[in-house]
Amino acid sequence: MNISKLSLVLFIPFISCVNTNNKNAQEDHIKTKGEIETQETVEFNTLIKGTGRPTIIFESGLGNPLNNWDRVQTRISENYKTISYDRKGIGQSPATDNPRTIENLVNDLDILISQNKIDGPMVLVGHSLGGHIVRKYQHSFPSKVAGLFLIDPTNEYLYEEIFKQMTPESADSMKTAWESNYKNQPIGVYNEWKEVYTMDQIMRKNPLPTGIPITILISYQRNNFNTAKNIQIKKRLFSDWQRDKPNVKILYTTNSGHYIHLEEPEWVITELEAYLKKLK
C-alpha cells in the first residue's frame, strides 16, 4: 500500500507503520510472508558494520526492516561497531508462531546480543515501537546498557490521552481502521501490532532510568492526526518523561514526520555522534 494512502487510513499514528516507500522493504516482507519459525535458535537477518566501542544497536519501529537504518548506520559505523537486524517475521528473518509480546521482543534482542558476543558497553537506538523494546531491555539488563537514544518513541500514555479527547464513536472507528489495516499486513507485522496496547500498559511500570544519558528526538510536525491539540498532548507527555531527570535531553523537529531518521538523517547523525562523543 502506498504510504500516503496508508496515512489517510491510520492518520499517521505515533507508532510505526510499514514504510512501503522503500522497495527493498516491500520485497523483504514478501519473502517472509507465511513462513513460520518455531525454533528459538533462529538466526536473525543481521547487518554488522564498523568497529569501535561502544557498540550501537538499532531497533526498528513496528514492521520495519533493518534497511530503514541504512544511511544512519553507514555513517555511525565509521567510528563505532553498529548492528541492525530484522525482528522475527520482519524483513528477511523467519517468523514465529509465538506472540510478539514485549518480553519476547526483549528476549530476542538479548539472543541477538549473545549470538554476536557483545559484552558491552552498548548504546541502544530505538525508533517508535523500538523505543519500548530498548527501554524494556535496559530495565531488564541495566548493567549491559550505557545509554539510550530514542527517535520519536512510542509514549505509553499517548493513545489513552488522545482517545479521551474523542467521542467514543470516533475512537472506536479509529481503532477499527487500524486493526483492519494491520490484518492485511504480513503476519510478522500484524503479530507485533496485536500486542501494542498491552505493551503500553507494561511500559507504564518501566519509567525512564536516571543513571544513564538519554537523548530523545521527537517530531511535532502537523498532519491529519497530529492536530494542534494532539501535539500539545504529546508535548505534555514527553515533558512528563523528562521531569526530575537531568539525564534526559529532548530535542524536537517540525521538519519531518514520524520517520525522522529517513526524512532528516543528517540531523539524526549529528545528534547521535554528539551524544556518543559525550558518552566517551
- For 192-247, the pLDDT digits (tens) are 999 999 999 999 999 999 999 999 999 999 988 788 999 999 999 999 999 999 99
Question: Distance (Å, rounded) from C-alpha 55 to C-alpha 143?
Answer: 14
Q: Is residue 37 part of a domain?
A: no
The strand pairing partners of 215, in sequence order, are 149, 249
Q: Is residue 221 part of a domain?
A: yes
Given this model, what pLDDT does residue 242 score? 95
Residue count of the chain, please give it. 280
Supply the CATH number for residue 120's domain.
3.40.50.1820
Given this model, what pLDDT does residue 224 score? 80
Q: Which of 128, 125, 152 is nearest to 138 (CA)?
A: 125
Given this model, what pLDDT does residue 13 score? 43
Q: Is 12 helix (H, G, I), strand (E, B) or coil?
A: coil
Residue indicated by cell numbers 558491552: 120
Q: Is residue 262 part of a domain?
A: yes
The pTM of this model reads 0.88
Q: State yes or no: cis peptide before 65, omega within 30 of 0.
A: no
Residue indicated by cell numbers 496515512: 7
How confident is the model over 242-266, as pLDDT tens digits?
999 999 999 999 999 999 999 999 9
Asked if residues 132 and 203 have their Cβ atoms less than 8 Å apart, the reply is yes
Residue 54 belongs to domain spanning: 3-26+46-279
Q: Is residue 266 part of a domain?
A: yes
- Characterize 124-144 residue by residue with b for buried, 16 or more Cβ atoms within 10 angstroms of its Cβ, and e for exposed: bbbbbbbbbbbbbbbbbeeeb
Q: Is residue 236 part of a domain?
A: yes
Q: How many domains does the chain have?
A: 1
